[in-house]
Structure 1
Amino acid sequence: MDLEFGGRVAVVTGAGGGLGRQYALALAARGAKVVVNDVGGGVNGAEESNGAAMLVANEIRSAGGDAIANCASVTDFAEVEDMVAVAMQVWGRVDILVNNAGILRDKSFAKIDLDDFRSVLDVHLMGSVNCTKAVWAGMQAQGYGRILFTTSSSGLFGNFGQSNYAAAKMALVGLMQTLSIEGAKHDIRVNCLAPTAYTRMTEGMLDHRAAELLTPEAVVPAMLVLAHERAPSRAILCAGAGTFEAAHITLTDGVHLGVDADVANRLAQSLGRVMCRDGSFVPESGSVQGLNEIEKAAASGIN
C-alpha cells in the first residue's frame, strides 16, 4: 500500500535544504500540509535568514501542495511555540514532527571549546526537546502523534572529532525511549532515524562516488515509514544509499557474582561472560535491568 498522509499536518525542522527539504517535499507530495521550518543559517548555525524555508514552501505550493514557511530557531522555545500556534490556527492540528535541524562544530575533544560543545547540544538535543514539548499536549489531546528524532551513527557507535554531536545524538535515543513509553496510551509513536547522506553537513567528508550514492532522497523512505499512521514505536532505523538497517540497545543475560569483598576480582575474571552477546535482548523499559539482576540474585543462592 502507498504511504499516504492526506489530512495530516507535519512540522519539519531544518527543512530549507538537504534531508529536511526532501522530507518536506515527500510529505507534501503524499498529501500532508507542511510547516517548513528553517532558521536559514549555515552548518555552524550562523547567517540566519528565512529565505531557505520560503523557497521550499513555495516549491510545495507550486506543485499543488499546502505549506507554511517558518524561520523560528529551535533553540528558542517561545519562537517554537509561536510556530506551532500558527499551524494550529491555520490547520487545527499537528500530527507529525520531524526533528531534523542541526549544526556541526567538529573538533577533537582535546581541542573543542566548551561553548561549541554546548551549542551543538542546544540545537540538536534541546532544539528537539523544545519542538516536541510544543506539540506534545496537542498530540495527547487529539490522541495521535508521530515524532521522529534524528540520531546518528556518530552517537550510536562513536566518531572521531564529534564528541559534542555524538553526545547530543545518543541523548535523543534516550529521549525517544522514554517518550515512546509515555506517549503510547495517546497513540503518540516516537522513533529515531540515523541517516547517512551527502548534505551541507557532510560536504568534504565523502568522496565523489559516496556522494553519488548517499543522496538525501535515499533516506526519505525511512522517514515516511516512521512518520506514517502505521509506524512502529521505539525503533532506531538507519538509512543510506538505499540500504536500511535497525540499531538496538540490548542487555546481555549477565552473570550473578554476589556482593562479597572478592567480587571485583571475580568480575575481572568473568568479564568475557558478562559481555557475551549470546542471549542478549532488548528491554521493554529501564526497569528490566533491575528485575533481571534481582531474579539472578534470588536464583543463585550466592550471598
Structure 2
Amino acid sequence: MDQGSSAQYRSVFRPGLFDGQRIWVTGGGSGIGRCVAHELAALGAELVISGRSADKLQRVADEIGADGGRCSWRAFDIRDEQAVQTNVAAVLIERGPVQGLVNNAGGQFPAPLMAISKRGFEAVVANNLTGGFLMMRELFTQCLQGQGGGAIVNMTADFRNGMPGMAHSGAARAGMSNLTMSAACEWAHAGVRVNAVAPGWVASSGMDSYGPAIQPLIRQLKEHVPLRRLASEAEVSAAIVFLLSPAAAFISGVTLPIDGAASLGSPLFPRPAEGGNAPFEGFHRASTPEVLK
C-alpha cells in the first residue's frame, strides 16, 4: 500500500487507547517495529523509537509526524550496557516516564550449526536476548518499578520445534521466552506485566535482508503454514498492542504464538494446497517485500 499521510492506520483498537502514555519500541526503524510504532502513535501514545540507524529512525519519526503522531528517537546499540543505561536515563529526563516497552530489536543470519563461530553465536544471542534484557532491566530499575506499573512485550520467534538453520537465534529466542516468565513473576509486585510474542513467518522488510540462496525458500514458506499464507506486520502489531493494553491486565508471563498454526500438526495429517483466511492489513504504509513480489 504505502499510501503516505493521505491515509491513517486502521487499528481494530479504540482511538485514544494510549492517550497520555509514552511507549518505547526498540528496532523501530523498520519492519515489525516500524509498524508497531505507527499503530501505537495512531492510538494516542507518544513514541520513543530506537535502533542503530539514525537515518531509518528519522524516516519513521517523520512518517509518524506526518500522520499526526508524536515520536522521538535515539540511535544506539542495545548490546552496549553503558549505552542502554545512558539513553534510558536521558529519555526519562527529556521526555518523562515510560509506561510501556516493546523489545523488538534483534537479528540473525542463516547458517548450519556446525558452521557458526563462537563470535557469530554470541553476536546473535546478544542481539536477541542480552540487549532485550538490558532494556528491560534499565527501564524497570530507572522507571517502571517506582510508578505503580507498566507493560513489557518481548519479541521471540517460532522456536517450538527448534530452529534448524538458525540455531543461534532459536537458542536466544527460547531464552527470551524464559526470561519473560521470570521477569513476570519477579516484577509483578510492582504492577509490571511482562509478556512475549512469537511470530512465525511475517511478510516484512526483513525478508529482503537474506541473500539469493535463501530467497527461493522464502517464497515457499506459505506452503508450510496451515493457513496457507504469511503473517502481515499488522497482525503481529495487533497482538503486541493487545498485550500492552488494559484488556490484558491479568495476562503476564505468556509467549503468544503468531504463526498460522505452522508450529503444530503432524506429517500424518496432510496440509491442504489451498484455503486459509484473509490477512488483516491495518498498516496504511505497508509494502510487500521485494522477495515476495
Fold-level similarity (TM above 0.5): yes
Q: Give how far 1:174 is off.
A: 1.1
Matched, 1:35 2:48: yes
Residue among 12, 16, 27 paired with 2:25? 12
Partner SS, residue 11 of structure 1: strand
Residue among 73, 79, 82 paired with 2:83? 79
**Pairwise mapping of residues 116-155 of structure 1 onto structure 2 (< 5 A)?**
116-137=120-141, 138-154=143-159
**Pairwise mapping of residues 255-274 of structure 1 onto structure 2 (< 5 A)?**
none
Q: Is the 8 A contact 2:163 2:169 kept in 1?
A: no
Partners of 1:146 and 1:62 in 2: CA distance: 27
Partner SS, residue 127 of structure 2: helix
Task: Indicate the residue corresponding to 1:218 in structure 2.
Answer: 235
**TM-score under structure 2 normalisation?**
0.75
Matched, 1:106 2:110: yes
Q: Give how far 1:2 is off.
A: 2.4
CA distance 1:245–1:185, change in 2 (3 Å): farther
Partners of 2:176 and 2:95 in 1: CA distance: 28
Q: Give how far 1:201 is off.
A: 3.4
Q: Give how far 1:31 is off.
A: 0.7
Task: Indicate the residue corresponding to 1:164 in structure 2.
Answer: 168
Task: Indicate the residue corresponding to 1:207 in structure 2.
Answer: 219
Residue among 37, 42, 46 paired with 1:24? 37
CA distance 1:27–1:167, change in 2 (3 Å): same
Q: Is the 8 A contact 1:13 1:20 kept in 2?
A: yes
CA distance 1:5–1:245, change in 2 (3 Å): farther
- Of all paired residues, the percent bearing the same amino acid is 27
* Aligned-residue RMSD, C-alpha: 2.3
CA distance 1:230–1:186, change in 2 (3 Å): farther
Partners of 2:72 and 2:107 in 1: CA distance: 23
Q: Give how far 1:237 is off.
A: 0.8
Residue among 94, 97, 113 paired with 1:93? 97
Query: Rg: which structure is higher?
Result: 1
1:101-138 deviation digits (Å, cap 9, x = unpaired): 11112211111111110000011111101111110121
CA distance 1:143–1:86, change in 2 (3 Å): same
Q: Give how far 1:200 is off.
A: 3.8
Partners of 2:95 and 2:134 in 1: CA distance: 21
CA distance 1:213–1:165, change in 2 (3 Å): closer
Q: Which has the higher contact order (CA 8 A, sep 6+)?
A: 2
Partner SS, residue 113 of structure 2: coil
Q: Give how far 1:221 is off.
A: 0.9
Partners of 1:99 and 1:201 in 2: CA distance: 16
Q: Is the 8 A contact 1:146 1:229 kept in 2?
A: no
Partner SS, residue 97 of structure 1: strand
CA distance 1:56–1:160, change in 2 (3 Å): same
Q: Give how far 1:36 is off.
A: 1.1
Matched, 1:236 2:255: yes
Q: Give how far 1:81 is off.
A: 2.1
Q: Is the 8 A contact 2:161 2:263 kept in 1?
A: no
Partners of 1:163 and 1:95 in 2: CA distance: 33
Partners of 2:261 and 2:239 in 1: CA distance: 8
State how many pairs are aligned: 235
Corresponding letter in the other structure for 1:78? Q
1:76-105 deviation digits (Å, cap 9, x = unpaired): 122222322232123320111111111112
Partner SS, residue 19 of structure 2: coil
CA distance 1:212–1:18, change in 2 (3 Å): farther
CA distance 1:120–1:19, change in 2 (3 Å): same
Corresponding letter in the other structure for 2:72? I
Partner SS, residue 147 of structure 1: strand
Q: Give how far 1:202 is off.
A: 3.3
**TM-score under structure 1 normalisation?**
0.72
Task: Indicate the residue corresponding to 2:244 in structure 1.
Answer: 227
Q: Is the 8 A contact 1:54 1:70 kept in 2?
A: no
Where structure 1 has 5 or more consecutive residues not aligned to the other structure, the ranges are: 41-49, 248-303
Partners of 2:91 and 2:263 in 1: CA distance: 32
Using the TM superposition, name which of 12-21 and 75-84 deviates more. 75-84
Partners of 1:70 and 1:92 in 2: CA distance: 15
